[in-house]
Amino acid sequence: MVKIPALSFILAASALGATYTAVYDGPEADSAAAREAILGRIAVLDGSITEQTADPDEFTVSFEAEADFSPVEDVLSLAGELVVMPVIPPAESVLDFITPVGVELVADDERGAWVVTGGTREDVSLGTGSYWSATPDDDGHDYFYLLNEGDRLDLTGRIAEASVVEGPFGPSVSLTLTADAGAELAAFTGAHIGARTAVCLDGEVIVAPVVRERIAEGKILLTGMFTVDQATYLARALALEPLPPDVRLLELR
């Protein structure tokens, strides 16, 4: 499971900033596509690159940024996988998860999710088709969705534009898809009118709205009670080029 900082990431200003060195490895780590994706992540951090070196199957970059270690690691670890899948309502599902004594999984039919009470996500080992929400609910409870993985729309690397706009509940993120992705979105939403669908980034649910109508214009509006900082980060993250499948962050120091 990859931690998604999209809804909690805020740059932590530092008078002096910090110097980081990130090492990526994989068969395509020194490729032009990997470099573009990696440097784009550093740009999200407003980082200033000081050195780059490449070896077979490895790419190392040093940079300065006014951010704490944890959010830097979260951003650099982003694979950039963006997928949309239908939610399986609690009423139509049966859980067979084993939880510690005192930890319960409570159905939230209004949200279409399962809420963890008496514990946290660390106490629950999710099964196939289960995805955590990127952030807890208003009461601080972690929750997850059961998703239909056999009916998925892959939007990875198919975002033409991402921007922050004022939505019905405050700052939101507007996504414009590439032409082919837009056509697939129209077909997907047309087949799921009235159903709840989840938008997932790197295996965690960002939002899970109910599809009200067929989306024919190739645009998605993500609304989730975001702050301006959160929406800005999310827009930047979704606009990033995805890392090649076999490339990963090996070390950050």
> Does some domain include residue 106?
yes
At 14, the pLDDT band (50, 70, 90 cuts) reads very low
State the Cα–Cα distance between residues 142 and 130, nearest whole angstrom: 13
> Does some domain include residue 50?
yes
Quick one: pLDDT at residue 15? 38
CATH classification of the domain holding 36: 3.30.70.260
Whether 129 and 178 map to the same domain: the answer is no
> Does some domain include residue 183?
yes
Whether 101 and 69 map to the same domain: the answer is no
Quick one: pLDDT at residue 1? 32
Quick one: pLDDT at residue 189? 96
Quick one: pLDDT at residue 12? 36
Residue 181 has pLDDT above 70, yes or no: yes
> Does some domain include residue 26?
yes
Mean per-residue pLDDT for 49-74? 88
> Does some domain include residue 12?
no
Mean per-residue pLDDT for 10-35? 77
Whether 231 and 247 map to the same domain: the answer is no
Whether 160 and 229 map to the same domain: the answer is yes
Range of the domain at 137: 91-146
Question: Which tens digit of pLDDT belongs to each residue from 193-213?
Answer: 999 999 999 999 999 999 999
At 182, the pLDDT band (50, 70, 90 cuts) reads very high
Whether 160 and 126 map to the same domain: the answer is no
Residue 188 has pLDDT above 90, yes or no: yes
> Does some domain include residue 116?
yes
Whether 137 and 169 map to the same domain: the answer is no
- Please say which residue of 108, 126, 146 terminates a domain: 146
Residue 100 has pLDDT above 50, yes or no: yes
State the Cα–Cα distance between residues 31 and 247, nearest whole angstrom: 10
Question: What is the number of domains present in the chain?
Answer: 3
Q: Which two tokens stand for residue 150?
A: 């056999």
Whether 25 and 52 map to the same domain: the answer is yes
CB contact at 8 A, 51 and 61: yes
At 4, the pLDDT band (50, 70, 90 cuts) reads very low
Question: Which tens digit of pLDDT belongs to each residue from 110-120?
Answer: 999 999 999 99
Burial 115-130 (b: 16+ CB within 10 A, else e): bbeebebeebebeeeb
Whether 22 and 42 map to the same domain: the answer is yes
213 vs 231, higher pLDDT: 213
- Long-range pairs, 59-62, Cβ under 8 A, ≥24: 59/23, 59/24, 59/25, 59/29, 59/30, 59/34, 59/35, 60/21, 60/22, 60/23, 60/24, 61/21, 61/22, 62/19, 62/20, 62/21, 62/22
- Please say which residue of 106, 122, 146 terminates a domain: 146
CATH classification of the domain holding 222: 3.30.1360.200
Mean pLDDT score across all residues of the chain: 88
The percentage of residues in the chain with a pLDDT greater than 90, rounded to a whole number, is 62
Mean per-residue pLDDT for 231-240? 85
Whether 138 and 164 map to the same domain: the answer is no
At 2, the pLDDT band (50, 70, 90 cuts) reads very low
> Does some domain include residue 10?
no
